[in-house]
Amino acid sequence: MTDRHNAIPRKLTANVKAAGCAAKLSSAELEEVLRGLPRQECDQLLTSIENFEDAAVYKLTEDLAIIQTVDFFPPVVDDPYLYGQIAATNALSDVYAMGGRPILALNILCFPTCDYPMEVVREILRGGGDQVAAAGAVVAGGHSIQSSEPVYGLCVTGLIKPGAVLTNGGARAADQLVLCKPIGTGVGLLGLKAGMLSQAAEQALISSMTTLSTKALECALAYKLSAATDVTGFGLLGHLHEMAKGSGLTIRLNADAVPLLPETQALAEQGFVPAGAYGNRKSFEQFTTYINDVDLSLGDLLFDPQTSGGLLLALDKPQSENLLRDLKKIGVEASCIGEFIDGSSGKVEVVSYGKNS
Active-site positions read 21
d(CA 218, CA 220): 6
d(CA 14, CA 75): 9
CA distances from residue 347 to 26, 95, 194, 247, 343 in whole angstroms, order as listed: 18, 26, 36, 11, 8
Q: Which residues pair with 66 in a beta bridge?
A: 58, 159
d(CA 214, CA 231): 15
In 3D, which of 276, 263, 273, 268 has the Cα closest to residue 305? 276
Beta strands 311-315 and 176-179, pairing class = antiparallel
Three-state DSSP at 285 gives helix
Q: Which residues have C-beta within 8 Å of that of residue 147, sequence separation ≥ 6?
A: 110, 111, 112
Please report, as a single letter, which amino acid is at residue 257. A
